[in-house]
Structure 1
Amino acid sequence: MQLLVFILVYPLLWLISILPYRLFYGFSDFVFFWVYHVVGYRKKVVQHNLELVFPHKTPSEIKDIQKKFYHHMCDIFLEMVKTMSLSKEAVKKRYTVKNIEVLQEIEKDNSILVVCSHYANWEWNVSMNNYVESKGYAVYQKVSNSYFDRWIKKVRARWNTTLITKEETAKTVLLNYKNNVKGIFGMVSDQSPQRSRAHYWTEFMGVKVPVINGAETLARKMDLAVVFLKVSKIKRGYYSAEFIPITTGGRSTEKNEITDTFLRLAEQQIREKPEYYLWTHRRWKHKDKVPVEFQ
């Protein structure tokens, strides 16, 4: 069944990926109409999230952000499909890096964790590996369809990126350390963990929630550098990335310092242009279940 689904879906995805940009974004507008106006995909979730973290905004302001978000969401998910046929030259034109020298300087002495949020186009973040010497890794959620999973790994390999699961990350870092191989590990760190696995609760966008601190745990244990990747949307289909160092060595930081710094940087980014954050996630679903020790 997995093979059949892959055989049926893959040609359609490829066809979408090779569309000229005017048709490509015209198709995205068509998808937006169905997702937003007809299906109403998670509109209540998005509205609830926006009203929760922006309590002082008017209903009209919330609706404006919501509508802009859905336009952007359709764009980024189709841009993920576009990756199938996007060359290195094309992605360098559409995803520019302001200060790659930050990574280039740090990688001389240490492996790096690059942390980011679900903001702008996180899919094209892996293209930064075209500018550095260190081996590039991206921590991802394994796809249940094994054929699509292998295909995704093959696509990312074109951009000098190796995909690894979060369970493989620590082992890979340790193996690289033993073999004196420097690596750059990219991970999206703003997800909501399961309550049973949450070891730290703090405010995110003004609401106390459980947060993932896996990047900090790994950085402090292995003394890795940590850099925040801030991505801005310049215009439709064009993005600009900036690297903001958090620490050049995790062991020199205090407990929760890396996690808190990441969250503050992510918040600042979201507040600047909230329509480019992924509001469909139930990020604040545990807000009423804060353990006593974190209240």
Structure 2
Amino acid sequence: MKKKSIDVSLYILSLLPFWVLYGISDGLYYLLFYIIRYRKDVVLDNLKNAFPEKSDGERYQVAKKFYRFFPDLVVEAVKMRTMSAKQVLRRIELLNPEEVYRHFAQNKGVIGVTAHYGNWELGIYRLSLMTDHPRLVIYKPLNDKAFNEVYNGLRSRFGAIMVPMKQILRHIVRLKNTPHISMFVADQTPTYQDSDYFMEFLHQETLVYTGTERIARLTKNPIVYCHIGRKEKRGHYFCKFTTLVEHPDDYQTHEITQLHNRFTEQIIKEQPEYWLWTHRRWKRKRRI
């Protein structure tokens, strides 16, 4: 019953035109930033630790830009419930899809890596529309089962296959030597049971997932980074593909994990306002 209620509410809201939704976003910006101050202490603290070289004023401006972008992300996620394929194609441009297609032409699977940057959710839709080969989206299940089912239904509208992290191995083994893409959002915070590897990320000791690297070594598949950035026009994005790893066996243990996290770090440094600063990315500390 809860799932149906959430889905119906989402459907009704998604019927609103973009100009109305962006009007709501404008109001949410002032509400979240100036009145509710939604996780503002978390955001400013994250920015202070990530950019010690910036002044308080500079970090405040980054925070302000982030809060201006964040409500857009929310209303765009709502709109995804009824967004057509044509609208998706118009709103997110693939700059170089041939970088993925060349791996498919060699009968290889592709391990896609992205981050909570730009509109990664819309990126799932665009990825689903770029090929008929299997598209797996690796996700960490939410605690709320109703929300989890709604989100998975939303993300799979154009053919993506939602795969819980703990089931990824069986799916990828089944697709061995078959062109496909498995998409990892690799900047999530793992539990101590999921990873014990720390590295410096944005000037902070950070517990990171090593699953992308492990899957790459097992399958020998290349790793392609999907940089989903925002264009100047509101609600429009681009996706640029970069092959970070052609042959996983050429790398030492943890080198691949370092590589894709460093790539994410550089993207964040260039335009920090489009990363999800509200999450508590550094809550895990090294155990003594």
Scaled to the shorter chain, the TM-score interval is: over 0.9
Deviations along 1:112-141, whole A, 9 cap, x unmatched?
Answer: 110111111110111223122421011123
Equivalent-residue separation in structure 1 for 2:49 and 2:152 (angstroms): 37
Equivalent-residue separation in structure 1 for 2:143 and 2:254 (angstroms): 33
Task: Name the residue aligned to 1:112.
Answer: 110
Equivalent-residue separation in structure 2 for 1:145 and 1:194 (angstroms): 18
Give the superposition deviation at 1:234: 0.4
The one-letter code matched in structure 2 to 1:203 is E
CA contact (8 A) 1:221 1:251 kept: no
Give the superposition deviation at 1:147: 4.7
Give the superposition deviation at 1:95: 0.5
CA contact (8 A) 1:106 1:248 kept: no
Count of residues in correspondence between the two structures: 285
In structure 2, stretches of 5+ residues that fail to align are none
Other structure's SS at 1:208 match: strand
Other structure's SS at 2:81 match: coil
Task: Name the residue aligned to 1:19.
Answer: 16
Give the superposition deviation at 1:243: 0.5
Q: Mark the CA change 1:37 to 1:12 in structure 2 (over 3 Å): closer, same or farther.
A: farther
The one-letter code matched in structure 2 to 1:243 is F
Equivalent-residue separation in structure 1 for 2:147 and 2:42 (angstroms): 28
Task: Name the residue aligned to 1:257.
Answer: 255
Task: Name the residue aligned to 1:45.
Answer: 42
CA contact (8 A) 2:7 2:150 kept: no
Task: Name the residue aligned to 2:65.
Answer: 68
Q: Mark the CA change 1:7 to 1:153 in structure 2 (over 3 Å): closer, same or farther.
A: closer
In structure 1, stretches of 5+ residues that fail to align are none
Give the superposition deviation at 1:145: 4.8
Q: Using structure 1 for the length normalisation, give the TM-score.
A: 0.90
Equivalent-residue separation in structure 2 for 1:270 and 1:71 (angstroms): 17
Comparing 16-25 and 266-275, the one that deviates more: 16-25
CA contact (8 A) 1:220 1:253 kept: no
Task: Name the residue aligned to 2:84.
Answer: 87
Equivalent-residue separation in structure 1 for 2:153 and 2:41 (angstroms): 36
The one-letter code matched in structure 1 to 2:268 is I
Equivalent-residue separation in structure 1 for 2:41 and 2:151 (angstroms): 31
Task: Name the residue aligned to 2:222.
Answer: 225
Within the candidate set 259, 272, 275, 2:270 is matched to: 272
Question: How much is the aligned-residue C-alpha RMSD, in angstroms?
Answer: 1.8
Task: Name the residue aligned to 2:174.
Answer: 175
Matched, 1:57 2:54: yes
Matched, 1:139 2:99: no
Equivalent-residue separation in structure 1 for 2:203 and 2:179 (angstroms): 37
Equivalent-residue separation in structure 2 for 1:90 and 1:23 (angstroms): 16
Equivalent-residue separation in structure 1 for 2:84 and 2:251 (angstroms): 39
Give the superposition deviation at 1:251: 2.6
The one-letter code matched in structure 2 to 1:33 is Y
